[in-house]
Amino acid sequence: MDTSANSAFEQLLGASAQTVETELRRLLSDHPRAGEVTRPLHLMQAARHGVLNGGKRLRPFLVLESASLFDAPPSAALRVAAALECVHCYSLVHDDLPAMDDDDLRRGQPTVHKAFDEATAILAGDGLLTLAFDILADDDTALPAATRLALISGLSRASGFGGMVGGQALDLAAEKSMPNEAGIITLQAMKTGALIRYACEAGAILGGGSDEDRERLHGFGAAIGLAFQLADDVLDLTADATTMGKATGKDAAAGKATLAGLHGIEWAQAQLRGLVAQANELLEPYGERAAVLMAAAHFVADRRS
Amino acid sequence: MDTSANSAFEQLLGASAQTVETELRRLLSDHPRAGEVTRPLHLMQAARHGVLNGGKRLRPFLVLESASLFDAPPSAALRVAAALECVHCYSLVHDDLPAMDDDDLRRGQPTVHKAFDEATAILAGDGLLTLAFDILADDDTALPAATRLALISGLSRASGFGGMVGGQALDLAAEKSMPNEAGIITLQAMKTGALIRYACEAGAILGGGSDEDRERLHGFGAAIGLAFQLADDVLDLTADATTMGKATGKDAAAGKATLAGLHGIEWAQAQLRGLVAQANELLEPYGERAAVLMAAAHFVADRRS
């Protein structure tokens, strides 16, 4: 894909990120919702620090774009997008903790436990995860009750023991005992893949798509999830800290096994091209309407940071 | 209340705890559910260590008993009870962490981060919280979709920023700057009160009770939540470590403000009697059917450990 196409895509992504951030800011206000006693200011500041930090909002973008493919109500899709981003951001806040990846910086800013303290970071993460389910259960999304339940069920399985959290546990274990290729694939399918698959599938759920639609979007999410991780591995092997805004070469230095590390950068780049082709093929039935999602697949595979 | 009545109640509570634990063991098995990739063994062992540890299961008991008051399906009530206990246990796992209360023992056993490690304890807690919402969203509970959503919404608000997690943040702040009486009341209403109120109200939600029923059970939960905390404060001032199975006098030693510490043990005991009377009065409309819940109020106020 040429540079100008990717730059047009980045404009779309940027505009979407602004919409998502406005919604996140509203949901993370100090003002308690019905049934809440009060929202401690310090805790909410920490939560906002962990969320409103200039992220690309790729997962919310995938929700919004896949939802539009099925003519889902945009305001309801925005809610789901924000809930998913709360889960993604809580996982970053907890992953950055000293007992986990021990990162001081994220996107060039102090991580939550550095800007506040460890206990507050743990609690801010817990609160963000809890809020995600509150947002999805909320009846002012105007979605049918069965749809909201399917979204909650999908998010919990994508992010819990058998999804993201489980993947993070496998990642910690991989530091002690290098997994084989199958082990790396499982780890990544859980740690980063599950939430990206859910982001894409959520649109089909939101819009009342058929089982076939759900499977197709799930497959699309699986392909770009793999591409996302491969591109990350390649970046880790090649990029410098200035481009990434975080420490790099870290996986390699920590002896972490990655597929790109195992098979080399050329193999990874061939894989990336294959995954983009596969992702696009899955969306062919939707024709021109899926053009933005197809561009997203290119963007994920080509990203430079 | 005389000792024999309390001992009869403890038998009921013990039998209920066994039922709840069987359900929790099933929900925390290594076997992945539909939509999950795999459940890492080490992580599930840590989660089970944090949950299947001989707790009294008071909150699940309150769910089950309040549900039976409204003729809710027992199997659905058991699910909700188990989900609530997952939230309670995750909060203990995270509270015990070095960055929080830094406890090595809970009920005489090593805490999760001591038996495993800090990172695993953080992830086990995250997974338990996530699982709670999975359990409530699950459609094999045979509850109407609107009921399941109301249960999810209630649990997320009771346990999130404006409930339990927020209360824990206020508790951390209270170590640095002693709160006044109103501050202590708010802190406790959030940290321990919110989940107990929800446990009682959940029965009315489960059984399709009226708004008045929900308010009455919410009020009952508020009264016994306050009693629970006051009894805990009194125990902390008087009990020894052998009875409690954990360090005691800890709040006082840490300079933590409690209402019992502020007003004295006699005042606290008079308050406890008043709260039990208030709790019982709220349940009078249900007559004999509420006898076990009334006994629970006595038990909470009188407990010796």
Mean pLDDT (whole number) for A278-294: 97
- For B140, the token pair is 């094999």
Please tell me the number of Cα atoms within 13 Å of A121 on its side-chain side.
27
Out of A34, A36, A162, name the one closest to residue B161 (CB).
Answer: A36
Q: Vertex A37, ends B221 and A152: CA angle to 5°? A: 85
Q: Which residue of A has its CA nearest to B197?
A: A35
Backbone angles phi, psi at B121, to 5 degrees: -65, -40
Average pLDDT of chain A is 93
pLDDT in tens, A95-140: 999 999 999 999 999 999 999 999 999 999 999 999 999 999 997 7
**Tens of pLDDT, residues B78-126:** 999 999 999 999 999 999 999 999 999 999 999 999 999 999 999 999 9
Spell out which residues of chain A touch residue B95, defining contact as CB-CB under 8 Å: none
More confident residue, B220 or A252: B220
The answer, yes or no, to whether residue B246 has pLDDT greater than 80, is no
End-to-end CA distance of chain B: 16
Taking the CA of residue A4 and the nearest CA in chain B, the distance in Å comes to 38
- Alpha-carbon torsion, ordered B33, B37, B39, B42, to 10 deg: 180
A257 vs A109, A253, A264, B62, CA distance in Å? Answer: 27, 10, 12, 48
Decide if pLDDT at B240 tops 60: no
Q: What is the mean pLDDT of residues A89-99?
A: 98
8 A C-beta contact, residue B108 and residue B245: yes
pLDDT higher than threshold 60 for residue B296:
yes
For residue A5, the model assigns a pLDDT of 72
Class of domain B3-302 as given by CATH: mainly alpha
Task: Say yes or no to pLDDT of A248 above 90.
Answer: no
Cβ–Cβ < 8 Å for A133, B159 = no
Residue A256 has pLDDT above 90, yes or no: no
pLDDT above 50 for A225 = yes
- Residue B287 DSSP one-character state: G
| Segments making up each domain of chain B, as ranges | 3-302
Residue A39: list chain B partners with CB under 8 A.
Answer: 161-162, 166
Residue that wins the pLDDT comparison between B237 and A80: A80
Instruction: Answer yes or no: is pLDDT of A282 > 70.
Output: yes
- Put simply, the answer to whether B130 touches A190 (Cβ < 8 Å) is no
Mean pLDDT, rounded, for B260-284: 95
Q: How many CB atoms lie within 10 A of CB B219?
A: 18
Smallest CA–CA separation between B174 and chain A, in Å? Answer: 12
* Range with the poorest average pLDDT among A60-69, B47-56, B250-259, B286-295: B250-259
| ipTM score | 0.95
